[in-house]
């Protein structure tokens, strides 16, 4: 009820490239802050990092698809590097499409403006195909992959979630049965084409189940649709308020990241970013 005071708060916050920054920009009626700037690395710094024995071992192991050993070598090789060397190492990893290590290494330097490195378009043709097949937003699929695995091709969680879109084996089997396909084996579930196809089909199933509400579907992808059903409000509620009231800290953070990443991926795909307010319809108790 105090619009002038609210605008004074929204205007500076809207300059941030974040979930809350995007929400503030919606309230203030200003464009999103989506500035990109390449990681500041000199060619000589990149070449020097490439010559480090640990980096060379990590790159060779990566080329041999011995990913766990490659990550171990990379970890120890970069552990004591300074900020300029870490930034150089991140660009070295990016050059060979080792996106997870590029993302994690650059994050150690707190340099956030390289949107191309931090939000890669790896497997674009696969994502685009599945988005068209299931009538999904490809920026949203990319955002889920970015949050779930950071494009780590052999990602496995401690609870058994597997691959780029971190599918639980039981979920993958159910989706495969829905698609009238044979149940995937662990090895095939790690293959990008299979993982993205099953993960996208699961998003479509959740969309059909949750009344095409992207906020609820994103929460359900992380926490399960049965929990989202329990979390529906007793009275209609603004979606941004509902996100804040999600009782699982992990899911609350997951929602904010995926929603923000979907905006950034619109930019990366060369599209006019869809405003968060368009995705965040009110959450009603009778949505299911």
**Residues tagged active-site:** 148
Contacts of 222 (CB under 8 A, 6+ apart): 250, 251, 254, 255
**Do 141 and 206 contact (CB within 8 A), yes or no?**
no
Q: What span, in angstroms and rounded, lies between the C-alpha atoms of 60 and 81?
A: 20
Burial state string for 49-69 with b = 16 or more CB within 10 A and e = fewer than 16:
beebebbebbbebbeeeebee
Contacts of 220 (CB under 8 A, 6+ apart): 206, 209, 210, 227, 228
Half-sphere exposure of 200 (CA within 13 A, CB side): 23
DSSP-derived 3-state class of residue 222: helix
């Amino acid at each position: 009820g105090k619009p002038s005071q609210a605008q004074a708060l929204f205007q500076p916050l809207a300059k941030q490239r974040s979930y809350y920054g995007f929400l503030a920009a919606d309230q203030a009626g200003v464009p999103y802050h989506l500035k990109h700037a390449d990681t500041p690395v000199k060619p000589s710094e990149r070449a020097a990092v490439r010559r480090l024995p640990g980096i060379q071992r990590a790159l060779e192991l990566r080329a041999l698809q011995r990913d766990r050993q490659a990550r171990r070598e990379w970890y120890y090789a970069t552990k004591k590097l300074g900020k300029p060397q870490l930034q150089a190492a991140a660009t070295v990893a990016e050059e060979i499409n080792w996106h997870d290590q590029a993302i994690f290494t650059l994050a150690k330097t707190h340099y956030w403006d390289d949107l191309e490195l931090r939000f890669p378009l790896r497997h674009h043709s696969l994502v685009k195909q599945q988005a068209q097949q299931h009538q999904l937003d490809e920026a949203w699929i990319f955002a889920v992959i970015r949050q779930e695995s950071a494009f780590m091709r052999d990602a496995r969680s401690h609870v058994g979630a597997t691959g780029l879109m971190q599918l639980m084996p039981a979920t993958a089997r159910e989706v495969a049965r829905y698609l009238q396909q044979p149940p995937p084996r662990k090895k095939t579930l790690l293959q990008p084409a299979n993982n993205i196809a099953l993960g996208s089909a699961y998003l479509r199933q959740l969309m059909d189940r949750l009344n095409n509400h992207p906020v609820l579907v994103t929460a359900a992808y992380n926490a399960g649709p049965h929990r989202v059903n329990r979390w529906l409000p007793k009275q209609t509620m603004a979606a941004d308020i509902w996100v804040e009231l999600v009782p699982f800290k992990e899911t609350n953070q997951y929602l904010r990241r995926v929603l923000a990443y979907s905006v950034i991926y619109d930019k990366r795909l060369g599209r006019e970013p869809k405003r968060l307010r368009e995705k965040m319809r009110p959450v009603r108790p009778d949505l299911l």
